[in-house]
Chains A and B, each alone.
Chain A
């Protein structure tokens, strides 16, 4: 898939994500939109997972530590054919397994997440298992920048470097906002690149909405013997003008009018992209 094709897909996935959140009457809009391009690149360019190979012991693993952005993940997995898109209409509904954070009841989900600070330690375990077995797979996790306040991340960061886990990549969805506001104002954890380097990681900083940069950073481990940290600079609420970089859209649900306006903007972007081709 070309960068332009991925770009087009991202716009379509944004619409489906917003529709899913609207239908659920709940969800994490801002974070889903900030990480969507990352998921798009992972599932369409990087991870060797598919519905057919999901039980293969040598598949790549992806654990979404920032589990609240599950609507984006559910949408991407539907697009990859793990289940029919119609299932997205059941998100957060009575007796639907599509609950508001990832669970293994859903095809394509590796681990149940949602409480923050859990994905990285789990992925360290998976990566150690991969090393023990000389397995070819890589392990990826997606962390929120606000999530990095959880101390368990740093326990895992130390262990990952200690065990030279170059089969592990942690992607930080660095949208600089959390529920209460700007992460640097809530309790600053910057500079993240220096922190991860000091913990023994190889660090790459990319534009988290640029498909070429994301692909280059995720395509292979950054440095032999070191875990890779990809700091993806993103915009919370990306793609919808009135949601972009606004903390209240962390778990805001669009009204009828807001959904219409968002679709108008995304339709226009889609049209513009198609015309440019």
Chain B
């Protein structure tokens, strides 16, 4: 058994990141907390709601600087979402912050009814999502959240891939007049975008052009797709990399373009393969009559292998090496 807390990146992946000029940033969650603090200082109408989650949500400094703009509800996620909805209905710009595993399971009915069906402009922040809590086990994983949230009407679902997307997602959520869910992990992330990149909710960002294979990835898997594209290029294979930061509404045009222009399509997500980005993309392609070699890379429908996030990613092929191999197999 390997030691805990291994690196997310192999030495070869780190070398590729350097070759591609990627710089390591901070955790997306830290970027979220800093952005929210900045917005809330300028707008006293912004309120954060936490369920004993201000530490894990990196909102300790927010609570100290803006105590009147933080509502603590204790370990009570149903109440967290109900209160967040009530605050929004009464004119506050409320951000309900709680680990995705609890937020999108225990309080799913509150998300569906109080926020989405009632159509209040609340923002829900899923922290430490996917397998961020790795070794803490399945109770603390959220590998179902995209599937369930995709099946709820009137919700924007954003999964930022790096600090830039995280900041842009929070700025967009703060402006939104309808419900938004933003999903964050807690690992430090490489920066993937130039500052001048245009971020638009519902529009994928093309990180790399190529027509041999398309990686359609979301959240913390995007960097691995980008590294894999670098590795594949060394073998003469040109991979397109899309950061599909918005999973709902999905950028159907970008998926169809990738499906039509590339020889194969691979999706990557930190989510169970059931009901997530992969199945959503497959549905888009098939219904448009686009049939290309296709693979969904994610966590299979099994009890997730024990280990840290990096172990789990590597185990299921969410890594530069794993995604490169998948591409090579698919292009054979």
Contacts and interface: CB of A to CB of B under 8 A. Distances in A.
Contacts of B110: 118, 121, 152
Interface stretch (A40-48, A154-162, A193-201): A154-162
A129 B82 contact: no
Contact of A156 (B68, B82, B120): B82
A9 to B, nearest CB: 29
Contact of A111 (B68, B78, B79, B89): B89
B73 interface: yes
Contacts of A115: 109, 113
B87 A104 contact: no
A159 B49 CA distance: 12
B88 to A, nearest CB: 8
B119 interface: yes
Interface stretch (B2-10, B90-98, B155-163, B282-290): B90-98
Interface centre among B47, B86, B91 (most CB of A within 10 A): B86
A126 interface: yes
B319 to A, nearest CB: 41
A47 to B, nearest CB: 15
Contacts of A152: 78-79, 82, 110
12 contacts: A104-B119, A110-B89, A111-B114, A111-B118, A115-B109, A121-B114, A124-B79, A124-B83, A128-B71, A129-B90, A156-B79, A156-B82
A110 B120 CA distance: 11
Interface string B294-316: 00000000000000000000000
Contacts of A126: 86-87, 89-90
Interface string A87-129: 0000000000000000110000011111101101111111111
Contact of B86 (A57, A128, A133, A151): A128
Interface of B: 47, 68, 71, 73-74, 76, 78-79, 81-92, 94, 109-110, 113-114, 117-120
A31 interface: no
A111 B122 CA distance: 13
A261 B89 CA distance: 43
Contacts of B87: 125-126, 128-129
A61 interface: yes
A257 interface: no
A140 to B, nearest CB: 13
A127 B79 CA distance: 14
Nearest to B109: A115
Interface string A140-155: 0000000000011001
B91 A124 contact: no
Interface of A: 57, 61, 103-104, 110-115, 117-118, 120-130, 132-133, 151-152, 155-156, 158-159, 162-163
A130 B90 contact: yes
A113 B89 contact: no
Nearest to A121: B82
Contacts of B109: 115, 118
Given A111-B114, A123-B86, A125-B89, A158 B68 contact: no
Nearest to A151: B78
* Dominant SS among interface residues on chain B: helix
A155 B77 CA distance: 9
A125 B90 contact: yes
A114 B114 CA distance: 10
B122 to A, nearest CB: 9
Contacts of B86: 111, 121-129
B196 to A, nearest CB: 38
A121 B90 contact: no
Given A122-B83, A159-B76, 11 more contacts: A103-B117, A104-B119, A112-B114, A117-B78, A118-B113, A121-B83, A121-B86, A125-B85, A130-B90, A156-B79, A159-B83
A113 B74 CA distance: 24
B79 A155 contact: yes
A111 B110 CA distance: 12
Contacts of B120: 111
B211 to A, nearest CB: 47
Contacts of B73: 155, 159
Contacts of B78: 117, 121, 151-152, 155
Interface centre among A115, A117, A120, A159 (most CB of B within 10 A): A159
A130 B92 CA distance: 10
A133 B92 CA distance: 10
A241 to B, nearest CB: 36
Q: Nearest 9 pairs between A and B by C-beta?
A: A125-B86, A121-B82, A129-B90, A155-B79, A125-B83, A155-B76, A122-B86, A152-B78, A125-B87
B85 A129 contact: no
A125 B113 contact: no
A57 B45 CA distance: 14
A236 to B, nearest CB: 25
A122 B71 contact: no
B92 A159 contact: no
Contact of A113 (B83, B91, B113): B113
